[in-house]
Amino acid sequence: MSAEIENQVKILEEQLKKLQKKQAKDQISIIVFSGDLDKVLASMIIATGARAMDMDVKMFFTFWGTTMLRDKNKSAKGKDFMSKMFGFMLPKGSTQLKLSKLNMAGMGTEMLKGLMKKKNVASLEELIKSAAELGVEINICQMSMDLMGFKKEEMIDYPNIKYVGVASYLADADESRVQLFI
């Protein structure tokens, strides 16, 4: 009977090891798909809040979300016609983003920014700076950059920035306790 119990304990230990390997980290993975000011603000508030709670944060910027990461003072040479058109038509950086609703030709965006200042709510630019100081990792989808004709040299200076593919996001999400799509 002792050998049978020892065998069952070994089986349980192996199962426990497998479960421990698969256990999610205290980490949040956020896909930032939108380039709308209100949605990007929400993603940055969640990211900085999670870091303040000691969670690891990995943000994956894709498609329209990548526009927030363009530096308004930088440009890249050697772009084809379509890349130049995307660059011209899309917002260049966090200061040019518009609201998803009630934009009213830019009036709504300015009203929100004014209200945020009045209520002492951090601006998007301040949130980006805080995120960098807190160690939020920003991953930019290389495929989205290629499609829109964006180049690394026109992106913001950020200490924890990486240019990755979807497999990197999926690996991060697989080990995260929380995943969000914004």
The distance from CA 155 to its chain's CA centroid, rounded to whole angstroms, is 14
- Using DSSP, state whether 29 is helix, strand or coil: strand
Give CA–CA dist 94/36, Å, rounded.
Answer: 10
Inside any domain, residue 6: no
Q: What is the mean pLDDT of residues 93-115?
A: 92
What pLDDT, on the 0 to 100 scale, is given for residue 1?
Answer: 61
Inside any domain, residue 13: no
pLDDT of residue 103 exceeding 90, the answer is: no
Inside any domain, residue 75: yes
Give CA–CA dist 29/8, Å, rounded.
Answer: 37
Amino acid at 16: L
The total of structural domains in the chain comes to: 1
Give CA–CA dist 149/78, Å, rounded.
Answer: 10
Of 7 and 50, the structure prediction assigns the larger pLDDT to 50
Inside any domain, residue 151: yes
Inside any domain, residue 46: yes
Inside any domain, residue 63: yes
pTM score, whole prediction: 0.86
Count of alpha carbons within 13 angstroms of residue 155, beta-carbon side:
22
Of 15 and 61, the structure prediction assigns the larger pLDDT to 61
Inside any domain, residue 1: no
pLDDT of residue 17 exceeding 90, the answer is: no
The distance from CA 66 to its chain's CA centroid, rounded to whole angstroms, is 9
The distance from CA 145 to its chain's CA centroid, rounded to whole angstroms, is 14
Inside any domain, residue 77: yes
Give CA–CA dist 179/139, Å, rounded.
Answer: 15
Domain CATH code at residue 108: 3.40.1260.10
What pLDDT, on the 0 to 100 scale, is given for residue 6?
Answer: 87
* Structural domain harbouring 43: 25-181
Q: pLDDT tens digit string along 157-180? A: 999 899 999 999 999 999 999 999
Q: pLDDT tens digit string along 21-63? A: 777 889 999 999 999 999 999 999 999 999 999 999 999 999 9
Strand order of the β-sheet with 56-61 is 161-164, 137-141, 56-61, 25-32, 176-181
